[in-house]
Structure 1
């Protein structure tokens, strides 16, 4: 669903926001259009880009990927050939070596079919910050300063309109995922996001936020990350595996969130950082499937 949240600023919202169902968007002026993220599959990316063209009459001059994950990047190859894509430097490298675009493993059911997408990397990379000018409209692309959701996150901030596209630094009403970033970094990034004082937030997944809902959702993230940190510290002290530590957690207020099995992935990240080791991706997803009682559900 394409929503115009300010004049010339659109959000593409894909309910219910669970695995592989992301949000995207665009900022459009007479001087050009900047697309924020694409979608996981060719069908969904075309649907987004077709709706955007119908609404604005423009083709994207620029695009930015908020991070490397396929639900935000695999549709890059559906952008016009002349569109210049921007990404954080670590995000570009992550997408370059991503094996999942070549064939999704059976950790999900049904296994997503990406369609006729091809790996398309950013043309321009940024380390910390870059400002894009679309005529009089300013769009600031900012990195949180360290690993959070991933190591290469960017937000798109439109200061004059106080609209913030957060990528997956925010999951509104769904379980956050930080297994390719940092639990402590994601917690720190919540205060960093709040400091923008946005009036509208377009999260990476879930409904658009405004008013008091912004502070509410950011507070939920703080409490969830603290729960993960406590569960991880307790699990290590007791000699538990990440899976067993997760099984002992009372999700309480977060029990109704979709994709609860991400707790296992997040704990694998905590354990890896504590031990100073690389995260074992296959082991982490195998444990998540075990915790879930079967493959992780998708609706793509």
Structure 2
């Protein structure tokens, strides 16, 4: 494993475990483990073959039951690159837009971070999809899948277990890390956060970072509203997203990891300020290059 703390499994409700990968930075995502009476439902996989095998070992440490269902909260590789290790014995569920996005993305992260030990990653998209909602039953326990995008991406899914007041939020929510909406929507994420808040969960598993509660919605929303205001003011002053990011102080968000995402988020916010719809195509390549420039030329750090 990389020079980061070991992943850990944390029971967050009866039969529901969070698999948390510190330190939650690029490609160190969380997964959910839902143990039913006769099978396990896994929410997301991980970025590398080695890390997904570790996830599978962690599941085996708490139950002998087989993994029969995998839910992808969205298409990004840190959440889907392990699908192939389960696809021969489990259905893989995602939003209707997820399979095409997985195939289009391929193994893009390998080119972004060529030094990471990715292993034998095989692109494996969901083979079961839904458009708005889908309900799973783990014995008597109701597990609801809600489409929540466009937010982090255009195919975001959250997993809501009403009887446990527990929400697995995917990358709509980060804890301790900077949110990232370059491929999604600032306004769409704010709307999604309102819908998630209305569920009134007591426990929230973010896509990255430690388990928290509904206070995570408020932190994320404050950041995104700040991004919107910064984009509006900077556009009015004739600044570019990179210039705006360089001139802005990060304030209460300065201690969040991966702060260079401010540039990508501003690219999305500038586009929406100019009238682009949520999730509309924008020049993401330029945004990624400028994130590195904002970082003083230092490549984005991935410890997967």
The answer to whether the superposition gives a TM-score over 0.5 is: yes
Contact 2:44/2:73, CA 8 A, preserved across alignment: yes
Residue pairs, 1:6-45, within 5 angstroms:
6-45=13-52
Distance across 2 between alignment mates of 1:178 and 1:46: 29
Contact 1:272/1:278, CA 8 A, preserved across alignment: no
Contact 1:21/1:40, CA 8 A, preserved across alignment: yes
Distance across 1 between alignment mates of 2:116 and 2:204: 28
Residue pairs, 1:1-300, within 5 angstroms:
1-79=8-86, 81-99=88-106, 101=107, 104-106=110-112, 108=113, 111-144=115-148, 146-210=149-213, 214-215=214-215, 217-273=216-272, 274=274, 276=276, 278-293=281-296, 294-300=298-304
**Structure 1 position 77, deviation (Å):** 0.9
SS at match of 1:160: helix
TM-score relative to the length of structure 2: 0.92
SS at match of 1:105: helix
Distance across 1 between alignment mates of 2:37 and 2:275: 52
Residue by residue over 1:119-177, the C-alpha shift from the partner in whole angstroms, topping out at 9 and shown as x without a partner, is: 00101111110001111111000012x41111000001111111110000110111000
Any stretches of 5+ residues in structure 2 without a counterpart? 1-7
Segments of 4+ moved more than 3 angstroms:
none
Distance across 2 between alignment mates of 1:47 and 1:269: 35
Distance across 2 between alignment mates of 1:272 and 1:281: 11
**Structure 1 position 80, deviation (Å):** 5.0
Any stretches of 5+ residues in structure 1 without a counterpart? none
- Summarize the Cα distance change of 1:112–1:279 in structure 2 as closer, same or farther, 3 Å threshold: farther
Contact 1:111/1:298, CA 8 A, preserved across alignment: no
- Summarize the Cα distance change of 1:103–1:19 in structure 2 as closer, same or farther, 3 Å threshold: closer
**Structure 1 position 250, deviation (Å):** 1.5
Residue by residue over 1:207-261, the C-alpha shift from the partner in whole angstroms, topping out at 9 and shown as x without a partner, is: 0114xxx32x222111100110011111211221111111121110000100000
TM-score relative to the length of structure 1: 0.93
Contact 2:38/2:65, CA 8 A, preserved across alignment: no
**Structure 1 position 275, deviation (Å):** 5.3
Contact 1:141/1:157, CA 8 A, preserved across alignment: yes
**Equivalent residue pairs, number:** 292
